[in-house]
Structure 1
Amino acid sequence: MIYTGFMFIVVGIIVLFRKIYLELQNIKIIIKIFKQQFSSTYRNNVQIKKQKHLTDLSNFIPLRSYKVYTIDQTTSLERLYMLIEKAGKTTKFSFSTYHDDESNKNYFVIDFIQPSSSIIINVEISKISHVLNDKLQELLSIIFYSSNTIYTWNYLSFPPVDFLIYDHIYSMNTDKINPKNFISLQHQFKHWYNRTFKHDENCQQIVDFVDSDGPLCSCPYRPCKFPTDTWSLSMAIMYTFHEHLQLNENPLEQCLAITKLAIIIEEGRNRQRIEALRSPSIHT
């Protein structure tokens, strides 16, 4: 009787352990399936979130209205006289260059920054008549030889390489151009952006007195994670205004974007005013 009872206990223990083993295996399978489903859902959510961020960007909108004048060998003297007069009344300009792949021509763009609206000149770098060339040199001299402010994005040295081309074609004397008149907005923008869009209070990068970039930063609105990181113009517009620069479709947007950033930096607009600009109905 004792032996039989002992065997029943042993068998019962074996059955119990087997049952526990099978339950543990089932739990492992359930956990594995859950992990796979969670991982798949997380990846999908990340992809959807990223796609939403890209598709939610509106097209670039200039801060002010503008009118474009193209200058080439077909330009009339009357138009150049008008632009010379306008340039004489303007003290701030934006400057950019681009290459048109279809025509294989180079251009430089200058924005006459005005209080209410802007004048954009789109200048083809090519041989023009002697008379037009004289007037174009007069126009460029008014813009570049005086004490005007010229905003660019990333010209860190002077003269810019592009000016060597202009010097060859339009006989501009770059020695008369004061490099201090050129403001490289890329460096200035980074400091303004960090002051305006500070680290989140939960960000691990927060340190006393200095609001700099760093690898511990978890703020999604601050893409630069190292002090040496630089901003591209497209990224600056994207993160500041939630807008997409389409330079391939409209290369003039580069100059207009420089103007937009120059104005909001100069005016010292705070975060609230910048976020208000992100609404399509508010552009002041």
Structure 2
Amino acid sequence: MEIRYLGTGGAEGFPSIFCQCEACRKVRMLLGKNVKTRSCTLVDEVMIDLSPDIFSQCINSHVDLSEVNHLVFTHSHSDHLNTTEICFRLREMASVIQKKDKKVMEIYGNDAVRDGIMEIIAKDPHVDLTRMRFHRIQKFEPFRIGHLKFTPLKAYHKLDEEALIFVIEDGRSTLLYANDTGVFPEETLDFIEQQNIKFDVVSMDTCRGILDGDTHMGIRENVELREKLRRMHAVTPNTEYYLNHYSHMCGMIPQEYERLVGHEGFLLTYDGLSVTV
């Protein structure tokens, strides 16, 4: 399984374009891996979320999205659900699709994701709806995309809809993809334990940094989640931990936060990071 983090920042990116905080000022000077575009991730040939920065992300990471035919969404926040690019994919003149098996874009999400897409499509007379097939997904009901098995879990995020995180399996390895979310709901932890799931890689939201968690996690919640997973025997001594979806809000620039979380055995993700499991 190949995990490619195309974007690893929070909703406003890092540096936030209108922000004058000290952290954003520093990142504008330092650039490099400190710069974080909005979060989305490619797992093999399946895209999880589609960020507002996907155009530049594909160029920077040498990704050809014309070969990607499956989009899986965690929730409907605009930094994850880029409806503009979906419309371009569904327009004949905007996206010339030559392979018959790629004509129809398979999209997976909750009701709010579907409604958000359909609301924008209704305003676009150039969209060809025969180019899209929507699959409604919900917590604890697995689905398959090719060789990958996705099991949606309930997240603690955007409380007016069923936001999701995912267990992703390819038959040899297992990934927990867990952003955006705060502290896991008990029913999610119970499901992991009851299903006897063991993770090779745990990818966690860390948007809050050194601040207290809310509907996002910070370093304290990351450590607590790892301990819960250890007690449940859901991880092993060889499990790798990645912290993702980092924001400027706590005032630490990414290279400073990377050193901090490194003491806990965590790796802070960066745009373009590729992990093979």
TM-score scaled by length of structure 2 = 0.28
* Higher fraction of helix: 1
TM-score scaled by length of structure 1 = 0.28
Which one has a bigger Cα radius of gyration? 1
* Higher fraction of strand: 2
